[in-house]
Amino acid sequence: MTDETTLTDAELQAYVDGRLPALRAAEVEAWISAHPEHAERVADYRRLGDALRLLYEPIVSEPVPESMLARRPPRWSRAAKAAAWVGLGIAAGLIAGWQLHDRSVAAMVDAGAAMARRAALAHATYSPEVRHPVEVGADQEAHLVAWLSKRVGAPLRAPKLEDVGYHLVGGRLLPGESGPVAQFMYQCNAGTRVTLYVRTESTQNRESAFRYSKEGNVRVYYWVDRKLGYAMSTSDISKDDLLKVSNAVYQQLNP
């Protein structure tokens, strides 16, 4: 039996990070479920981790400034060996530069996948919130939609999902790769939440089919429709049920 005298703080950290061996993780999990104050601590640590990743993830997709890609030649005083290295380095730089060019094309294709990842992180961060799941509640829906539309820079709508069993809880504004993005949160009567992530797309007049992605525990359907990119996330309902909700959203926004 595990108790405070045998479970160390280091083990609790490793449990949070999923770095304990399976057997030990199961023991810790059992112990934690019997100790709510530690269960809450673990949940908070994980949410803070998700929030951190959400906050800083866009930087990875930012284009790297030219100045950072330029090789700095070593000083003249360096030995011949260093000079040879510069030659190699320039060649490496050329190759790397070419690959970066290639990658920027791939990056456009992968932009949707990056959006799905951010939507999933945003979902994981905010859907467990008990007291403040949204910044503006559904009771001020008109204000919410007007505010988000203004900040995101495109006319948005909060779809009505009562037909598929969900009602609007509200929404919030989040930082995105190229400006603010909106998150609408919906909840069913059983308390299960789904979130709709909406951002503006840099390339217009583009449409894409539904694509599916699983990011950790979060399932996401995402698509692009003209000026806007959408991602629908859940950590509770099945892929099929999520598709139903996503279809309902798509149909409402494209009557």
Judged by the rule CB under 8 A, the positions of this chain that interact with other proteins are 4-5, 7-10, 12-14, 16-17, 19, 35, 37-38, 40-41, 44-45, 47-49, 51-57, 59-62, 64-65, 67-69, 71-72, 74, 81-82, 85, 88-89, 92-93, 95-96, 99-100, 125-126, 129, 131-132, 135, 174-175
Q: How far apart are CA 57 and CA 125, in angstroms?
A: 14
Which segments within 38-192 are labelled E, that is strand?
Answer: 136-137, 166-174, 181-188
Q: How far is the CB of 108 from other proteins (least distance, A)?
A: 16
Structure tokens at 134: 């949204």
Nearer residue to other proteins within complex by CB, 72 or 142? 72
Buried b (16+ CB within 10 A) or exposed e, 44-59: eebeeebeeebeeeee
Nearer residue to other proteins within complex by CB, 26 or 94? 94
Tell me which residue of 226, 221, 235, 17 sits closest to 115, measured CA to CA: 221
Crossing angle of helices 9-16 and 22-33, rounded to 10°:
100
Q: How far is the CB of 69 from other proteins (least distance, A)?
A: 7
Q: How far is the CB of 109 from other proteins (least distance, A)?
A: 17
Q: How far is the CB of 246 from other proteins (least distance, A)?
A: 25
Q: How far is the CB of 137 from other proteins (least distance, A)?
A: 12
Nearer residue to other proteins within complex by CB, 26 or 83? 83
Nearer residue to other proteins within complex by CB, 26 or 70? 70
Nearer residue to other proteins within complex by CB, 26 or 52? 52
Q: How far apart are CA 197 and CA 95, in angstroms?
A: 37
CB 221 within 8 A of CB 237: no
CB 136 within 8 A of CB 170: yes
Q: How far is the CB of 173 from other proteins (least distance, A)?
A: 9
Nearer residue to other proteins within complex by CB, 42 or 164? 42
